[in-house]
Amino acid sequence: MAQLRIPGPTPCPPEVLKAMARPMINHRGAEFHQLINDVTEKMKQVFQTKNDLYLLTGSGTGGLEAAIVNVLSPKDKVLSVSIGVFGDRWANIAKTFGAEVVSLKSEWGTAADPDAIKKAIKDNPDVKAVLVTHNETSTGVTNNLGAISKVVKDAGKLLVVDAISSMSSIDVPVDKWGLDVVVTGSQKGWMVPPGMAMVSISERGWKAHAQAKIPRFYWDFTRAKNYFEKGQTPWTPAISILFALDASLNMMFKEGLANIFARHAKLGDMTRSGVKALGLAIFPADEKYASNTVTAVKGSDKVDPPKLQKVLREEYKVVVSGGQGDLTGKIFRIGHLGWVTEADIKETLDAIGKALPKASA
Ligand SMILES: Cc1ncc(COP(=O)(O)O)c(C=O)c1O
């Protein structure tokens, strides 16, 4: 079997695939009512929140769009904290819906500086919300969200977080950090296929929602809330993904959240040490911020990333990702989130070691 070592979609355990083979059920019936309640309750435990949480059929980007249209009005000023491709995409969504975006960008490979965020809010006291990517999948950098949340909360602003490639793999205590709207996506650490975005919203988020004027229909949280109260979703949901999530969440609780976070930390460490031992360099400027779900590795004389990807795929059945945006052709990325073991990482590193002589620049 191939080693799918990309940062999503991630491999699915057999229990999950089996759950997805279940026949369809009536999404307006009693069985679905039970399913949506169960999955939502379990999902909240992973988010570590008592806030409302909705399972939306769509990809992660749909969840990001839902966050924007549900809490903002055209011309609202927002601070976009971007450290890569996904941060830039989010700012783009906000702009598309008419928000006035103040951009705070950090050089790719670095993390956002909480003091710079503090200053940007001070310089723009009328910003309504701050958009932050917790784990920037394109550069392999994890922001210090605990420190960022403190600064944003001290300033009394709404904090809207893309936790798509961190939630379920890295600790994101939503209530402890006061995160107002938090988005994740099914195909990442959740060990299930693409198809759903999961979004939590705080009391404060609901207050913003009540005043938000961006037109919305499919993503409308009021509709999601009204239907959830009846044990339904407003539109036909990706029922098979819900079956899958029900099974994967059970697996996650069996392992234990703390153990899952520790496993990802260990695998991140192992991947970084392994690539460095092969004479390669990781892309993040400061290893302290290197992600425990995806490792970005720099191209050099020793390795041409697209060549390496080809040799790995064709000769070793190991699939890694390339770079995105300005990093296209310049880095490669190894995903280590979700259903992944030390043996998977060892096999991946061994294959990279063997492929390197055929993949030099
Ligand atoms: C941090 C981050 N944000 C947003 C997205 C976009 O999610 P999707 O491709 O599911 O729309 C991704 C997916 O790779 C991501 O890793």
Instruction: Compute, in angstroms, the gap from residue 247 CA to the centroid of ligand 1.
Output: 23
C-beta of 60 in contact with ligand 1 (< 6 A): yes
C-beta of 162 in contact with ligand 1 (< 6 A): yes
C-beta of 87 in contact with ligand 1 (< 6 A): no
In this structure, the residue with its CA closest to atom 9 of ligand 1 is: 60
C-beta of 165 in contact with ligand 1 (< 6 A): yes
Two structure tokens written together for 131: 């958009």
Q: Which atom of ligand 1 is nearest to the CA of 137?
A: 16
Instruction: Compute, in angstroms, the gap from residue 60 CA to the centroid of ligand 1.
Output: 5
Q: Is the pLDDT of residue 43 over 80?
A: yes
* 288 secondary structure, DSSP code: G
The pLDDT of residue 96: 98
Q: Which atom of ligand 1 is nearest to the CA of 185?
A: 10
**What rounded mean pLDDT belongs to the chain?**
98
Instruction: Compute, in angstroms, the gap from residue 167 CA to the centroid of ligand 1.
Output: 12
CA–CA separation, 130 and 160 (whole Å): 6
C-beta of 185 in contact with ligand 1 (< 6 A): yes
CA–CA separation, 161 and 282 (whole Å): 25
Q: Which atom of ligand 1 is nearest to the CA of 133?
A: 1
Instruction: Compute, in angstroms, the gap from residue 301 CA to the centroid of ligand 1.
Output: 30
Q: Which atom of ligand 1 is nearest to the CA of 61?
A: 11
The tens digit of pLDDT for each residue in 289-347 reads 999 999 999 999 999 999 999 999 999 999 999 999 999 999 999 999 999 999 999 99
In this structure, the residue with its CA closest to atom 10 of ligand 1 is: 60
> Strand pairing partners for 135?
142
Judge contact between 244 and 12, C-beta under 8 A.
yes
pTM for the full model?
0.98
C-beta of 164 in contact with ligand 1 (< 6 A): yes
Q: Which atom of ligand 1 is nearest to the CA of 59?
A: 10
Beta-sheet pairing, 318-322 with 294-298: unpaired
Q: Is the pLDDT of residue 1 over 80?
A: no
CA–CA separation, 347 and 361 (whole Å): 23
Name which of 69, 22, 72, 56 is nearest 164 in CA terms: 56
Instruction: Compute, in angstroms, the gap from residue 181 CA to the centroid of ligand 1.
Output: 16
Q: Which atom of ligand 1 is nearest to the CA of 197?
A: 10
C-beta of 86 in contact with ligand 1 (< 6 A): yes
How much is the average pLDDT of 109-134? 98
Which string of DSSP letters, residue by residue, matches 50-118?
-SEEEEEES-HHHHHHHHHHHH--TT-EEEEEESSHHHHHHHHHHHHTT-EEEEEE--TTSPPPHHHHH
Q: Is the pLDDT of residue 213 over 90?
A: yes
C-beta of 133 in contact with ligand 1 (< 6 A): yes
How much is the average pLDDT of 40-61? 98
Q: Which atom of ligand 1 is nearest to the CA of 8?
A: 14
- The size of the chain, in residues, is 361
The pLDDT of residue 361: 85
Q: Is the pLDDT of residue 103 over 80?
A: yes
* 124 secondary structure, DSSP code: -
Beta-sheet pairing, 158-162 with 141-142: unpaired
Q: Is the pLDDT of residue 19 over 80?
A: yes
Residue 361, judged by CB atoms within 10 A of its CB (0-12, 13-18, 19+), counts as exposed
In this structure, the residue with its CA closest to atom 8 of ligand 1 is: 60
The tens digit of pLDDT for each residue in 145-165 reads 999 999 999 999 999 999 999
